[in-house]
Structure 1
Amino acid sequence: MNASISSSLQQAMAQLQQGNVVAAESVLVPLNMRHPNHPDVLHLLAMAAKQKGSIDAAEQYFKASLKAAPRQAAVHANFANLLVGRSKISEAIKHYRQAVEIEPGFVNGWYNLALTLAKAGQFDDALKASDKLMSLTPGKARSVEAAASIKQKAGDEEGARALIEALVAREPKVGNHHYVLANLLRAQAAFSESAAAYEKALQFGVATPELFLNLAEVYYEDQAPDRALETYGRGLARFPGDAVLHTAHAKFLWQVKPEEDHLKALKATIPTQPNNMGLWGSYFDLLAHQGRHEDILKGLSEAYRVGVRAPRLTLAEAAATSVTGDAVDATKIYERLLEEDPVGIPPKISFAEHLLKSGDPERAEALCAEAIARNFHDQQAWAYRGTAWQLMGDDRADWIFDFENMVRTVEVQSPQGYSSSEEFFAEVAHELDLLHRTQAHPIDQTLRGGTQTNGFLFRMKNPVLRQLEQAIREAIERTVQGYPDIPDHPFWGRKSERVAFKGAWSVKLKSQGYHTNHFHPEGWLSSALYISLPPEVDSATTAGHIQFGEPVAELGLDLTAKRTIRPEVGKLALFPSYMWHGTVPFSSSHPRMTVAFDVVPAREV
């Protein structure tokens, strides 16, 4: 490489390291014109494009660099990093493998290969890669932590724990080791031990908002809600400006002590940090969950008075005005917001929701199409786009909302050792009932008149729940096998032999309890599994039934449910996550208990 190219590349690299993409490209673009197909120039152009968010361009530059010089370990690894971000896991693994084949001592290559293989569920190969990594970096904490993470994902919880405990024993005063152990124990539902490890991490200098969030959760799961609240207090005293911590504290207080003002700490802190956008945003989000839109507008007036303005606040103003004010005024605010934030997806989706309410489904559909162009699996955008098609009389509404074929029911088989399905689900109901310990529904969820369990349900070391998870997984796989092969469809096109849970929880509804009509933004396939039911939930009426196709009431649309299913104990209803669904209220002295979950194709995790 001649000296001038080398000097220019060093200059561009320095600019990229400082985040100055424009300056880096001002060097690289003319350099690429003078020296076309130079692999190092193309590599840095790829890194620059990635840094500024031009992912398609970055991918093309990486490919061009490797075409010009195939044996570049660093380029293979950086390209693989990009592919992981695009959920192209199998391609990423191929490039990580090429990187370590070219450079067998490439530590970061082995590290990322091991973790990505685990992400793909290829645990045997992941463990081999992590063994190689540890042989290259004996005793290094980062390598040990990666190996422990892989062992845990592979089901070897004891092996994972042993690795981290050995690390703690070797360096007992390193706070981060205790923190990693605490996270591992928390994931294994060893809540008492996890809390002790978090406290040790604090003792040895690790103090982050995330630590206090996790510690509060494990105290709650260990049936110590007062200690959980005290932990939130400790965290807020240390990090009074952390919006995530404030939000979690407010949500927790709402559920365990609904008689208290859950927003008290947040309202007291905002005047002391009036320019903290996160605090304002959390406050308005929490008010929105309660439908307190007038209070949002009052709060916005105060924020604007002290000179705080940002797209996030404009979005809150637009959404609140859409509910409480004139539709024309709301539209004007949304128009201004799109000028301020022309690429943001949340403003487009919120504007689409407003347009559906105010009678302009054509424009709502166009905004949803823009969001889907950015993320084809955006469940919220598909929900609103399908609704717009319904209002427009567009035949594509039946393509996206095929209620007869997409909504399916399947019996969840009881495991061996139970004399009947009734016996199994009665035991499941008993175990779940012990986990329903809050006093009110989560403030940001759709259920009304009931409670919801905390955290990922199937992390619990409960043999009955472990059996339930396996029975559910088998039921899903049986159902998905019968899906049609339609690759370009947002639902059918994600058909997968293996699925991964994105979340799982239990809901216990009391008399007059129900779910508002909603969709699930994080899943592909969503569910309702009926665990125990009141005798009043029968075929005589639709009380307590699940219904599909009716949008949330706040949209005010003349669209009614297109399909209703009567719950039965052991029956699992499966449906697209983007499909509107809700529960009809019921009256009974007996609760209605379900388990719900979202899954995605395992290849996307």
Structure 2
Amino acid sequence: MNSGQSPVQRIYDLIEKGRPKDAVALAAPMASRIDASHALRAAYAAALKAVGRTKDAYDVQRGSSRAFPNDRIAWHNLAAAAVDVDNPREAKAAAEKAFALGLDAPETWTIYGRVLIALGDTAGGQAALEKAVARAPGHAVAAVLLAKLIWMRTADADAAVAPLRNGINSPGADLSMVLVEAKILEAAGRTGEASDLLEGWTQGYPNDAMLARATGQARMERGELPGAEWMMRRAVSLDPRLTAAYVGLASVLMAQGKAEEALAAAKAAAEIDPGDQSTWGWIATAARALDLPQHRELYDYDAFVRPYRIETPEGWPSLEAYLADLDAALSRIHTMRAAPSDQTLRAGIQTIDDLAQSQDPAIKAFFRAIDKPIRAYMAEMGQGNDPLRSRNTGQYRISDIWSVLLREQGFHVDHFHPRGWISSAFYVSLPPIVDDGKHEGWIEFGQPPFAVQPPQPPERFVRPEPGTLVLFPSYMWHGTVPFEGSDRRLTIAFDAVPA
């Protein structure tokens, strides 16, 4: 460490070198002094965040904004920290204070756009993100958020990819913008353009692991399996710590019937990041092909897939009356025209508001109504060494929550939730077709989203009913059987993680 560095520089240097605990130890006594500078407090907060203490980091930034009320950077930092602790209202107020003090940074406009979207103001969020990219076209976070939002609000792929194309030509631009452009083109049905885009950029940047992984995925979807495998192996070699590369390799190996190699790739990914649920999903898939006990250990449907009928929330005379109000509340915020470009939804739309911030009584009551079933599920699963039960602390928090509205022929492509623990499907209203005995509109489990060798059809179906919450491990393949008819299917889904 350079002895000529300032304390602030030394703290950031330790963080950059992967020693955040040492950074916290160095910063704590200095940052606790009453005369500590804003820069020192900000460095301490960065160290706390680096070790996962986001609430403590937020407290430091909040105290800093009080100690330096006229420092616009202090208010920007508070806005960012408030986002980290899921407090978009405080983040909004802090960003507005920073603007009032003269800050006009793209990073602040990006934060402001994010929190406006979370609070349901998608038009305001788009305007804020447009200001961010106007100030810094190469700001990847802003350009990506803006592109995804435009796509969902308009279903206009050309308008959506415009900020990405402008940004990628800026100095030092992030190649992640290329990946998002490809996803939007795919969502618009322009798969050929998406494939050509990825192939072209991969030729220009042959050493980018994420580009190689995305190109391998595109080749697999075109049925070019040997070429896809080569590209996935290249992604692994370029970044041996990239779990997505191993998972992509496992998927293309399964498509070719190479289950033993797929199992090895998925296990390598799990060793790197055991919290990534996609690794366990592919371990189970390969184990099923090989008829190994681990498949049934991970996919114990009787123990791990459980439906619960919620109780009528206080304030409503019946569950039916509550569901009617919840339907109305959700319908008011289903304003998008297209599904998220990177999601598994087909012939339907999804909310992007943070439902946890809703002031609607029916939506607020939903969080109270699901608490008892979630706690029952945790108690029933118990303790164990598998990736579900080993994380069971008896406490949880909702990490993400959204609502989906499916129309005729709507469905979810089979998928899992990589960053979840317990995933869910709650049924608000359903089309009559779900009662016809053909599984239309039902949730299915166990089937990968594309052909693997040997084939793996669904192993379990659960019939949806209004007022029923189905809970299951986030690593389980699950999807929706398409349904006929003009009626809609309205649900809420969320991921819970240990607390």
Instruction: Tell whether 2:346 aligns with 1:403.
Output: no
Q: C-alpha deviations, 1:55-111, integer Å up to 9, x for none?
A: xxx9xxxxxxxxxxxxxxxxxx93796xxxxxxxxxxxxxxxxx8xxxxxx971698
- Indicate how the Cα distance of structure 1 residues 221 and 368 shifts in structure 2: closer, same or farther if over 3 A, else same: closer
- Indicate how the Cα distance of structure 1 residues 207 and 418 shifts in structure 2: closer, same or farther if over 3 A, else same: same
In structure 2, the residue matched to 1:246 is: 143
State the alpha-carbon separation in 2 of the partners of residues 570 and 425 from structure 1: 7
State the alpha-carbon separation in 1 of the partners of residues 164 and 213 from structure 2: 20
- Indicate how the Cα distance of structure 1 residues 80 and 222 shifts in structure 2: closer, same or farther if over 3 A, else same: closer
Pairing partner for 1:259 from 156, 174, 184? 156
Instruction: Tell whether 2:419 aligns with 1:499.
Output: no
Contact 2:65 2:78 in 1 (8 A): no
Q: Which deviates more from structure 2 when the two are superposed, residues 180-189 or residues 450-459?
A: 180-189
Q: C-alpha deviations, 1:392-425, integer Å up to 9, x for none?
A: 1222211111112210111211223322111222
In structure 1, the residue matched to 2:320 is: 422
Letter in 2 for 1:502: S
State the alpha-carbon separation in 2 of the partners of residues 375 and 349 from structure 1: 11
- Indicate how the Cα distance of structure 1 residues 360 and 290 shifts in structure 2: closer, same or farther if over 3 A, else same: farther
State the alpha-carbon separation in 1 of the partners of residues 116 and 10 from structure 2: 42
Structure 1 residue 198: Cα displacement: 2.9
Contact 1:435 1:453 in 2 (8 A): yes
State the alpha-carbon separation in 2 of the partners of residues 413 and 228 from structure 1: 36
User: Alignment partner of 1:489: what SS?
Assistant: coil
In structure 2, the residue matched to 1:27 is: none
Contact 2:349 2:404 in 1 (8 A): yes
State the alpha-carbon separation in 2 of the partners of residues 318 and 153 from structure 1: 39
Letter in 1 for 2:337: Q
In structure 2, the residue matched to 1:543 is: 440
User: Alignment partner of 1:522: what SS?
Assistant: coil
Structure 1 unaligned regions, length at least 5: 1-8, 22-46, 59-76, 82-98, 100-105, 112-132, 155-159
In structure 1, the residue matched to 2:369 is: 471
User: Alignment partner of 1:502: what SS?
Assistant: strand
State the alpha-carbon separation in 2 of the partners of residues 238 and 137 from structure 1: 36
State the alpha-carbon separation in 2 of the partners of residues 415 and 308 from structure 1: 56
Instruction: Tell whether 2:460 aligns with 1:580.
Output: no
- Indicate how the Cα distance of structure 1 residues 240 and 534 shifts in structure 2: closer, same or farther if over 3 A, else same: same
- Indicate how the Cα distance of structure 1 residues 306 and 373 shifts in structure 2: closer, same or farther if over 3 A, else same: closer
Contact 2:139 2:167 in 1 (8 A): no
State the alpha-carbon separation in 2 of the partners of residues 174 and 395 from structure 1: 58
Letter in 1 for 2:446: G
Instruction: Tell whether 2:377 aligns with 1:377.
Output: no
Pairing partner for 1:316 from 214, 218, 227? 214
User: Alignment partner of 1:473: what SS?
Assistant: helix
Letter in 2 for 1:202: F
Letter in 2 for 1:331: E
Pairing partner for 1:108 from 14, 20, 28? 28
State the alpha-carbon separation in 1 of the partners of residues 163 and 179 from structure 2: 14
User: Alignment partner of 2:433: what SS?
Assistant: coil
Q: C-alpha deviations, 1:477-509, integer Å up to 9, x for none?
A: 0221122332x2111222221111111111121
User: Alignment partner of 1:509: what SS?
Assistant: strand
The structure with more radius of gyration: 1
Structure 1 residue 378: Cα displacement: 2.1
Structure 1 residue 238: Cα displacement: 0.8
Structure 1 residue 538: Cα displacement: 1.9
State the alpha-carbon separation in 2 of the partners of residues 336 and 260 from structure 1: 30
Letter in 2 for 1:547: E
Structure 1 residue 239: Cα displacement: 1.1
Contact 1:525 1:599 in 2 (8 A): yes
State the alpha-carbon separation in 1 of the partners of residues 202 and 270 from structure 2: 33
Contact 1:167 1:177 in 2 (8 A): no
- Indicate how the Cα distance of structure 1 residues 306 and 491 shifts in structure 2: closer, same or farther if over 3 A, else same: closer
Structure 1 residue 347: Cα displacement: 1.4
State the alpha-carbon separation in 2 of the partners of residues 556 and 207 from structure 1: 55
Identity of matched residues, %:
29
Alignment of 1:386-397 (within 5 A): 386-397=284-295
- Indicate how the Cα distance of structure 1 residues 387 and 187 shifts in structure 2: closer, same or farther if over 3 A, else same: closer
Of structures 1 and 2, the one scoring higher in RCO (CA 8 A, sep 6+) is: 2
Contact 1:287 1:296 in 2 (8 A): yes
Instruction: Tell whether 2:423 aligns with 1:526.
Output: yes
Letter in 2 for 1:507: V
State the alpha-carbon separation in 2 of the partners of residues 196 and 207 from structure 1: 15
Q: C-alpha deviations, 1:195-237, integer Å up to 9, x for none?
A: 5653442343434444223322444466654443332221111
Structure 2 unaligned regions, length at least 5: none
Q: C-alpha deviations, 1:121-178, integer Å up to 9, x for none?
A: xxxxxxxxxxxx6xx53897659x98xx9xx979xxxxx9xx789939x734635326
Letter in 2 for 1:489: D
State the alpha-carbon separation in 2 of the partners of residues 549 and 578 from structure 1: 10
TM superposition score normalised by structure 1: 0.70
Contact 2:257 2:453 in 1 (8 A): no
Instruction: Tell whether 2:66 aligns with 1:167.
Output: yes
- Indicate how the Cα distance of structure 1 residues 466 and 176 shifts in structure 2: closer, same or farther if over 3 A, else same: same
Over the aligned positions, Cα root-mean-square deviation in angstroms equals 3.9
Contact 1:348 1:368 in 2 (8 A): yes
User: Alignment partner of 1:386: what SS?
Assistant: helix
State the alpha-carbon separation in 2 of the partners of residues 364 and 318 from structure 1: 15
In structure 1, the residue matched to 2:133 is: 236
State the alpha-carbon separation in 2 of the partners of residues 332 and 575 from structure 1: 34
State the alpha-carbon separation in 1 of the partners of residues 197 and 135 from structure 2: 25
State the alpha-carbon separation in 2 of the partners of residues 140 and 424 from structure 1: 52
- Indicate how the Cα distance of structure 1 residues 288 and 540 shifts in structure 2: closer, same or farther if over 3 A, else same: closer
- Indicate how the Cα distance of structure 1 residues 229 and 583 shifts in structure 2: closer, same or farther if over 3 A, else same: same
State the alpha-carbon separation in 1 of the partners of residues 108 and 409 from structure 2: 38
Alignment of 1:41-56 (within 5 A): none
Structure 1 residue 13: Cα displacement: 10
- Indicate how the Cα distance of structure 1 residues 470 and 223 shifts in structure 2: closer, same or farther if over 3 A, else same: closer
Letter in 2 for 1:206: L
